[in-house]
Chain A
Amino acid sequence: MSQLPFDPLLVSIAAPLALALAIALGLPKRWSVLLAYGAFAIPVLMALHVWWHFTATPLPSHGYAFLTRYDTGLSGLGISLHLGLNGIALPLFVLAALVGLAAGLYAIQSGAERLKIYLMLLLIMQGGLMGVFASVDIFFFYFFHELALIPTFIMVGIWGGRDRSYAAMKLTIYLTLGAMVSLLGLIMLYVQSGAHTFDLIALRAHLAAHPLAATLQNNIAGLLLFGLGVLVSLWPLHTWAPLGYGAAPSSAAMLHAGVLKKFGLYGLIQVALPLLPDGLAHWAHPLAWLAVIGNVLIVGVITIAQRDLKQMIGYSSVMHMGYAFLGIAAGGIIGPGGVVLLMVAHGLSVALLFLLATAIYHRTQTFAMDEMGGLAQKTPVLAAFFVAATLASIGLPGFANFWGELAIFVALWKFSPLITALAVAGVVLSAIYGLRSAARVFFGPSTDALAKVTAAHPPVDLSWKERFPALILLAALLFIGFWPKSLTTPVNAALTARAPAAATK
């Protein structure tokens, strides 16, 4: 399948981590930065390589390719570093690599204080993220997620903006809560399945033969939904997200909101859906109502009221996670498929938005949208990027997000037309806040506040160093937007193969 003499998955995990370790051990700054380009680029190359070769040969019945297993000493517990990708993991793996590269490039050019440590933490995140989506073993899937999570706290704390201390603490406590509860769920699954393995493939085979009892499924699914719900900011457990993202430095916010947050949804799709179908179905209605009323409508309305650009983006991200939950609640093939698409798309677009928000901040010295206005006259390219990113995030066709939302809505109707109607109403809300923010920041006449700032620092348009990472993300959004099949084919294959019996509802 892959002609490389090494395991591309392991390399893409290990390369960033190795550099992070080297930096920790005292690599000089010049070399750190130089090598960081490579460490962020390698996962992308690997991801593209893997993507390219994914369908080269027919997949085995479990749907995974590039399987390799490394024993870390826990094979007795049924745990091993089992790497591989299926059609669902592949898009997210590529996403992680791309956003990682963009975040890395943006971080390198940002010239942050203590850049070495910043890069080191970012690299740890990157390595963890690659690991999350490359792990077939549920334990390592969780493990890598946590690995990627820790740097967020420190990055928010050191390089964060307003309220960073409180935000960092709240973020960490919330995310730990979510992680702990989902860990309990996973342990419950591990013990109760009787398979005594965390290996997803083996577990799936085992549970196909010996399905779990209904109550058990409900309990485990409940734990996972709560835990992962916190991680993915399911209403009303979401309050960490806007605060945290509002305070986080751009690259951390990009990686976290863009990729890391997808862990929970990915877990639900990859683990909960195939292993606990009845359990998820049991919770589907409460979940859907919570998501549609809470995430989509309430948070959507709240987003309209935001004055701080970054918080606004944070809230909009929370809102879009509502759609993802709706897709999972809807089930079948279309719903989860749409969620995978939406995850990738949202990851790219929200990362792009955070990147641009920071770029705006550098020009206006504020995140308060009231104090901007008319910036487009000075920075047309930045404005174009921002408008494109905003439109992508509110689901304009031509961008990847649209496909995800569309598939989710289609799936949702079968689940509940009423919920669908409410969810689609959210599209209007997102148009309102999206366009409003673009207008407040860029259009209309220049405000006095902006004039004052620009008098001191004449704003320059997006430089190429900033533009390049943004272009990567935007290009990916457009690529998927115009050619969704590139992503949906593997996803569809994986989902269809997984549920041959389940009606394609």
Chain B
Amino acid sequence: MTLEAVKLAAEANQWGAIFPELLLACLALALLALEIVLPKRLHAYIPDFALAGLVATLAAHLLNLPSANLGKESFNGLLLHSPGGQVMRAFFLLTAILVCLLARVSLTKQKVPRIEFYHLVLVITGAMMLLVQSNHFVMFFVALETVTIGFYILVSYFRTSSASLEAGLKYLVMGALSSGLLLFGIVLLYGVAGNPTLPGHSASAMHYPELAQFLVANPHHFLASVGIVLVLAGVAFKIGAFPFQIWVPDVYQGAPTPVTAFLAVGSKAAGFAVLLVLARDVFAAYDWLVTPALTAMAAATILFGNIAALTQHNVKRLIGLSGVSHAGFLLLGIVALAGPVASVSATGAIYFYLFAYLIASFAVFGVMAHVAGTDDSDQTLDHYAGLAKENPFLATILTVGLGSLAGIPPLAGFMGKFFIFVAAFEGGARWTLALAAVGVVISIYYYFGWIKAAFFQQWTPPADTTDPRPPRTPVNVVSGIALGCLALASIFLGFYQGPLGQWLTMK
């Protein structure tokens, strides 16, 4: 308990290793500061500032991608800087940029505070980046809760809309419940792994490597398995896996569109990045439990997501439920990874799938944000009728996005599914794979139903013309370029994976 010890401990806190997160934190604080300092008329530029900051952070991070810290722990083992973590950091930064771009479209149509939104997005992004790098359950829990609570606020951000608030409440209750489950699981694991009478016990039982060692030493401990199950349940909520997916459509529908996108992409990806680490590394010794549980979950998720989406008319619910099915596909990748015959390409497959999903989803959400009109709640398939005639650009972007989500070559989504399938096959999840194929076929119906609405149908005003279709938001240059880039990226990544593909398939 000497000063030296404190110093030593402090040295372990290598702040430089988390400079992107720090940049985001500073940026977030700077936004608040600017809001106070700047005159009102200049407030409109603060979101641009946030965007610029995010882009700069992403650029800095990309420059530092092969970081010196790679493979090392920092902050006394709270964080582990892995290649996967680096990838996911870039992923979240990209997500944040796109969410901010979406927010520029959506928020301007609403009378709500703006700067706080960007602040929240930045903080959540930072927390997600920490979350996926966490190597310790305390860090994990704290980061996770930061993300979750941030999302509670974001989901109910359009507080003028009761739907947004209701969604917020639902997300809050379900989220808190899942946090409770997760926490209890962590506690059980901590309790068991720290138990001095058990072989392989650890003094720092919440530290992943040590927990993993303990689990290897006690491969069939009941309390540990209960703990694992509860942790899985908590993560399953995040990724929206069956049967913890039930909140998804309601919350997606009520949340502001940028937040829906953030939830659908960011939150889900964070869940998967975490699950990947947990299933592959930490709970490896319990694959007798994790693999079948996740396999069953994957199968049920794919089927339920696709089937439930089949008859949806509200596009936000639709995209939510389709997102559920995507979670199923990703789970398939995790299964391939966690199974007894670990697939070598599964990790890369999952990351690629996430990126493909990110690109495609934001393309679709971008179109949704433009089509929705002033009231963010007008989001049914009928609103897309005649889109191809009125705005071919948006219709094209929508087609590319949905095509990629549906997994149609030559779009990136197909490559994602293909990698996952190969991995799943290598991992031995044959029957789930067959179900996944069925799922893809079912999904065609609603994805193409959406395209159909945009391309083949004409807008017919309802009999009582009191409810005219809201006007579509014109596409401005920035969002136009962004959407175009997303669509092109979807196409490009489908054709040519280049160094990215080499990197992903290298393992």
Contact = CB atoms under 8 A, between A and B. Distances in A.
Q: Do chains A and B touch in the complex (CB under 8 A)?
A: yes
B345 interface: yes
A165 B452 CA distance: 8
Interface in B437-461: 437-438, 440-441, 444-445, 448-449, 451-452, 455-456
A434 interface: no
Contact of B505 (A74, A117, A142, A181): A74
Contact of B506 (A76, A158, A169): A76
A157 B457 CA distance: 10
A146 B409 contact: yes
Contact of A190 (B392, B396, B419, B422): B422
Contacts of B283: none
A314 to B, nearest CB: 21
- Overall SS of chain B's interface: helix
Nearest to B419: A77
Interface in A122-172: 139, 142-144, 146-147, 150, 153-154, 157-158, 164-165, 168-169, 172
Nearest to B433: A184
Contact of A157 (B419, B456, B499): B456
Contact of B455 (A157, A177, A181): A157
A247 to B, nearest CB: 12
B421 interface: yes
- Overall SS of chain A's interface: helix
A176 B422 contact: no
Interface in B409-438: 409-410, 414, 418-419, 421-422, 425-426, 433-434, 437-438
Contacts of A172: 444, 448
Interface string A208-236: 00000000000000000000000000000
A77 B495 CA distance: 15
Given A73-B500, A169-B448, A173-B441, A24 B396 contact: yes
Interface in B360-402: 392, 396, 399
A72 interface: yes
B425 A187 contact: yes
Given A24-B396, A187-B422, A176 B496 contact: no
A427 interface: no
B408 interface: yes
Contacts of B311: none
Interface string B158-196: 000000000000000000000000000000000000000
A72 B421 contact: no
Contacts of A191: 422, 425-426
Contacts of B445: 169, 173
A183 B418 contact: yes
Report, as a range, how many residues of chain A touch the other chain: 35 or more
Contacts of B392: 117
B437 A183 contact: yes
Contact of A150 (B396, B408, B419, B437): B408
Given A143-B410, A181-B437, A73 B452 contact: no
A173 B408 contact: no
B227 interface: no
B456 A165 contact: yes
Contact of A183 (B421, B449, B504): B421
A396 interface: no
Contacts, number: 98
Contacts of B451: 154, 157
B506 A157 contact: no
B313 to A, nearest CB: 16
Contacts of B421: 183-184, 187
B16 interface: no
Contact of A72 (B422, B433, B452, B498): B498
Contacts of A177: 441
A436 to B, nearest CB: 34
Interface string B486-507: 0000000001111111101110
A75 interface: yes
Contacts of A158: 455-456
A77 B421 CA distance: 13
B452 A157 contact: yes
A73 B437 contact: no
Report, as a range, how many residues of chain B touch the other chain: 35 or more
Contacts of B320: none
A73 B345 contact: no
Given A143-B410, A147-B409, A180 B497 contact: no
A147 to B, nearest CB: 5
A180 B455 contact: no
A164 to B, nearest CB: 7
B414 A146 contact: yes
B425 A77 contact: no
B452 A150 contact: no
Given A73-B497, A73-B501, A184-B421, A153 B448 contact: yes
Contacts of B449: 169
Contacts of A117: 392
B403 interface: yes
A181 B434 CA distance: 8
Q: Which of A139, A143, A165, A190 has the most CB of B within 10 A?
A: A143
Nearest to B424: A187
Q: Which of A73, A158, A164 has the most CB of B within 10 A?
A: A73
A491 B403 CA distance: 37
Interface string A6-26: 000000000000000000100
Interface string A168-212: 110011001100110110011011000000000000000000000
Nearest to B444: A176
Contact of A184 (B409, B437, B452): B437
Q: Which of B403, B418, B425, B504 has the most CB of A within 10 A?
A: B418
A169 B453 CA distance: 12
B452 A169 contact: yes
Contact of A75 (B456, B496, B502): B502
A116 B498 CA distance: 31
Contacts of B414: 143, 146
Contacts of A147: 409-410
Interface in B327-346: 345
B502 A73 contact: yes
Interface in A52-89: 72-77
Contacts of B505: 73-77
Contacts of A180: 437-438, 440-441
A76 B437 contact: no
A166 to B, nearest CB: 10
Contacts of B498: 72-73
A190 to B, nearest CB: 7
Nearest to A188: B425
B333 to A, nearest CB: 14
A146 B410 contact: yes
Contacts of A76: 345, 501-502, 504-506
A163 to B, nearest CB: 12
Nearest to B440: A180
Contacts of B345: 76-77
A180 B396 CA distance: 24
A164 B496 contact: no
B216 to A, nearest CB: 28
A173 B502 contact: no
A158 B403 CA distance: 17
A369 to B, nearest CB: 28
B280 to A, nearest CB: 19
Contacts of A157: 451-452, 455-456
A164 B497 CA distance: 36
Given A183-B421, A191-B422, 7 more contacts: A72-B496, A73-B497, A74-B502, A150-B403, A180-B438, A181-B437, A183-B418
20 contacts: A72-B497, A72-B498, A73-B501, A76-B502, A117-B392, A139-B418, A146-B414, A150-B403, A150-B408, A165-B452, A165-B456, A168-B456, A172-B444, A176-B441, A183-B421, A183-B437, A184-B425, A188-B425, A190-B422, A191-B425
The 6 A-B pairs with the shortest beta carbon distances in the complex, nearest first, are A73-B501, A76-B505, A73-B497, A146-B409, A73-B498, A180-B437
